Amino acid sequence: MNEPAILFDRVSKSYHLYHPMTGGIKSFLFHLPEAVKILKNSRYEVLKEVTFQVGKGESLGIIGRNGAGKSTLLGLIAGIIKPTQGKIAVQGRISSLLELGGGFHPELTGRENIVMNGVLLGLTKNEVFQKMDEIIEFSDLGDFIDQPIKIYSSGMLARLGFSVVANLDPEILLIDEILAVGDMEFQKKCLKKMMDFKKSGATMVFVSHSMENIKLLCDRVIWIDRHTIKIVGSPEEVIPHYV
């Protein structure tokens, strides 16, 4: 493998569980020390001792059931989520599209959000203005580009988000199942763009429930099951087990 762009060494992530206060707030306060102990001990482990590497220029797919921990894994790579244990090392500038409408403001128009999002993703304001026409053209949102995005459909939000990312120059690109809400035409356009990124040597980590897209884009696949890595391998090896 090339020099690693992403390295996970026995990374675990757990969350506190919410507890219903069965005895009510009074009883909770009265038994505070025990209550706190119960809360502290009831943790839910989302990822358990996950170890893997992604080489520079490699495309890695992440698959697994709902709630398996895929988005958590991307959040950890992006540095948005901190691990409870283990070590994460990332080399390169990260561009990510992790949630629908993430980094957008509902009251602003599509155009205004492009500026805000572009800057959030590391471009200067001037760079965004220079790329504005291309971004809008890619999004194919027509007149809606000057409407507040609170009236956008989920597919339209995905178009806006991906169009900004498509005009970045990512070293490491993280994408979390955004294509699924786009229509066929837009999905094709996005896939083509991602192939271009791949050719240009970008490292990609791509979460998807579409095995077709995983096969198309990824050199290797990680199947996350029961909070940990079940299999790592080529799409041809891993996907038949998963499906």
**Residue 161 touches which of Mg ion, ligand ATP, none (CB < 5 to 8 A by kind)?**
none
**Nearest residue (beta carbon) to Mg ion:** 71
Supply the minimum distance, in Å, between the C-beta of residue 81 and Mg ion.
12
Among positions 10, 15, 91, 233, the unique one binding ligand ATP when judged by CB under 6 A: 15
The answer to the question of residue 48 lying near ligand ATP (CB under 6 A) is no
Q: Counting beta carbons within 10 angstroms of the beta carbon of residue 218, is it exposed (0 to 12), middle (13 to 18) or buried (19 or more)?
A: buried
The answer to the question of residue 68 lying near ligand ATP (CB under 6 A) is yes
Output 63 or 168, the one with its CB closest to Mg ion: 63
Among positions 67, 79, 122, 233, the unique one binding ligand ATP when judged by CB under 6 A: 67
Report the relative pairing of strands 220-225 and 4-16 from DSSP bridges: unpaired
The C-alpha atoms of residue 198 and residue 193 are separated, in whole angstroms, by: 9
The answer to the question of residue 71 lying near Mg ion (CB under 5 A) is yes
Q: Interface with ligand ATP by CB under 6 A: which range of 60-68, 123-131, 144-152, 162-170?
A: 60-68
Residue 41 makes CB contacts below 8 A (sequence gap 6+) with none
Residue 229 makes CB contacts below 8 A (sequence gap 6+) with 50, 51, 52, 222, 223
* Token pair belonging to 23: 């005895």
The C-alpha atoms of residue 198 and residue 239 are separated, in whole angstroms, by: 21
The answer to the question of residue 210 lying near Mg ion (CB under 5 A) is no
Q: Count interface residues toward Mg ion (CB under 5 A).
A: 1
Q: Note the residues at the interface with ligand ATP (CB under 6 A).
A: 15, 46, 64, 66-72
